[in-house]
């Protein structure tokens, strides 16, 4: 098959999957934020969802028996500030540790708080003052951002943090794009999606994401669910479908809104 025909076949397969998904009685649309709805930017707090994507989300939440949720690695306060989504959109932050459903918040035990302190001192000890390295405080841990650091600094700082934490029990490491996160609880986006699915009694889920951490959620899909990987076609994924970038995600969401409107969910 030529590249063009392969791309057309993939697009047809995705459209077919969306057509089937649109018929589900109660639909959950769960979306990663950065790199999925919002193009990647250097300054994390300047990330914004594409207007086209926000428009599609507004159409979807206006439909009957249709819920939209953002499932992000960001902490809830950051996600709330940049998401700019309607109040009906559910938010899951910190890879599923923080959930804004029915005003419920998760807090850490004394032991987990003490362990988080260890992570904090090791990470700040290794990263503070290093060019291009940024430490992000998260509810259940800390994240080491190296997007703006050179390769040597990245390697040194990562090694120092790893060595400082490798023997600490109950510390979970998670790798993302130019970010490595250490947390006192191992939850993933699969947990976030599972909690949302239950909360809204979804009969099928669309999940779209671009990062390594999204694979947890993509692997957890089954049955009538549809998984979409966002990004270059050589990235490994558990998703059955792929799109290239956030613009394609926005088109996909509009297509789903069209289909669901035609099926009488308006």
Give the count of residues interacting with Mg ion (CB under 5 A): 5
Site stretch for Mg ion (CB under 5 A), options 8-16, 61-69, 96-104, 208-216? 208-216
Q: Residue 230: exposed, middle, or buried by beta-carbon count in 10 A (0-12, 13-18, 19+)?
A: buried
Other C-beta atoms lying within 10 Å of the C-beta of residue 19: 14
Least separation in angstroms between residue 213's CB and Mg ion is: 8
C-alpha pair distances (Å), 187 with each of 22, 41, 140 = 29, 26, 10
Convert 199-218 into a string of H (helix), E (strand) and C (coil): HHCCCEEEEEECCCCHHHHH
Six token digits for residue 127: 């990263």
Rounded Cα gap, residues 227 and 137, in angstroms? 30
Site stretch for Mg ion (CB under 5 A), options 24-32, 51-59, 199-207, 242-250? 24-32
Least separation in angstroms between residue 37's CB and Mg ion is: 9
Of 32 and 75, CB closest to Mg ion: 32
Determine which residue in the list 17, 24, 28, 34 makes contact with Mg ion, applying CB under 5 A: 34
Of 35 and 139, CB closest to Mg ion: 35
93 binds Mg ion (CB under 5 A): no
Determine which residue in the list 75, 190, 191, 211 makes contact with Mg ion, applying CB under 5 A: 211
Determine which residue in the list 191, 210, 215, 225 makes contact with Mg ion, applying CB under 5 A: 210
Q: At which residue do the structure tokens 């300054």 appear? A: 43
Of 210 and 225, CB closest to Mg ion: 210
Least separation in angstroms between residue 34's CB and Mg ion is: 4
Q: Are 253 and 60 in contact (CB under 8 A)?
A: yes
Rounded to 10 deg, the angle between the 3-21 and 246-260 helix axes is 40
| Chain-centre distance for alpha carbon 48 | 14
Q: Are 22 and 57 in contact (CB under 8 A)?
A: no
Of 61 and 70, CB closest to Mg ion: 70
Of 62 and 212, CB closest to Mg ion: 212
Of 24 and 237, CB closest to Mg ion: 237
216 binds Mg ion (CB under 5 A): no
Determine which residue in the list 29, 32, 126, 207 makes contact with Mg ion, applying CB under 5 A: 32
Rounded Cα gap, residues 67 and 83, in angstroms? 16
Determine which residue in the list 21, 27, 28, 35 makes contact with Mg ion, applying CB under 5 A: 35
Cα torsion 8, 54, 147, 164: sign? negative
Site stretch for Mg ion (CB under 5 A), options 26-34, 62-70, 126-134, 162-170? 26-34
Binding site for Mg ion (CB under 5 A): 32, 34-35, 210-211
């Amino acid at each position: 098959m030529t590249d063009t025909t392969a791309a057309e076949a993939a697009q047809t397969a995705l459209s077919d999957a969306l057509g089937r998904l649109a018929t589900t009685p109660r639909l959950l649309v769960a979306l990663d934020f950065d790199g999925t709805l919002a193009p990647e930017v250097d300054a994390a707090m300047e990330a914004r969802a594409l207007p086209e994507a926000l428009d599609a989300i507004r159409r979807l939440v206006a439909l009957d028996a249709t819920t939209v949720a953002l499932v992000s690695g960001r902490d809830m306060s950051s996600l709330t500030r940049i998401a700019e989504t309607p109040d009906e959109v559910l938010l899951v932050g910190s890879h599923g540790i923080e959930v804004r459903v029915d005003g419920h918040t998760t807090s850490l035990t004394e032991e987990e708080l003490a362990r988080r302190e260890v992570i904090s001192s090791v990470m700040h000890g290794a990263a503070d003052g290093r060019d291009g390295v940024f430490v992000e405080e998260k509810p259940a841990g800390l994240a080491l951002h190296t997007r703006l650091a050179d390769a040597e600094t990245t390697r040194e700082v990562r090694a120092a943090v790893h060595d400082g934490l490798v023997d600490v029990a109950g510390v979970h490491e998670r790798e993302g794009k130019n970010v490595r996160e250490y947390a006192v609880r191992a939850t993933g986006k699969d947990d976030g999606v599972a909690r949302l699915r239950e909360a809204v009694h979804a009969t099928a889920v669309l999940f779209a994401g671009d990062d390594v951490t999204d694979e947890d959620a993509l692997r957890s899909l089954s049955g009538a669910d549809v998984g979409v990987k966002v990004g270059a076609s050589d990235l490994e994924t558990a998703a059955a479908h792929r799109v290239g970038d956030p613009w394609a995600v926005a088109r996909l969401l509009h297509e789903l809104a069209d289909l669901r409107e035609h099926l009488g969910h308006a």
